[in-house]
Amino acid sequence: MIGAFLCFGAMFMISAGASLVEIAFVCIIYFVTGKRKLNSNNSDIRSGLSMHFARDLIYQFEADEIDERNWRPNFLVFSGSPKSRLYLIDIVYAISRKR
């Protein structure tokens, strides 16, 4: 708000008559657009591009065949201290690395 008041002050210093006309013009535009109550669904370009690339990747994955030989499971084991529940880590190792 301080910046807006400083800009208005600079406008009045340059030309008071033109400043009044411009302020009136801006107020008219503000009230006309306020009466129309325009609804816009604008978003930023980053989210639009993200959605576009995600959609393209989904269609590409759908078209490609899946090769099961390349699948390797990843496990998250909550074992606490690894020394106390070593059998959990051994089972996960046997499933994931020894196929």
Is the pLDDT assigned to residue 62 strictly greater than 90?
Answer: no
| pLDDT of 36 | 76
Asked if 96 contacts 74 with a C-beta cutoff of 8 angstroms, the reply is: yes
Is the pLDDT assigned to residue 42 strictly greater than 70?
Answer: no
Name 77's Cβ contacts closer than 8 Å, sequence gap at least 6.
88, 89, 92
| pLDDT of 28 | 93
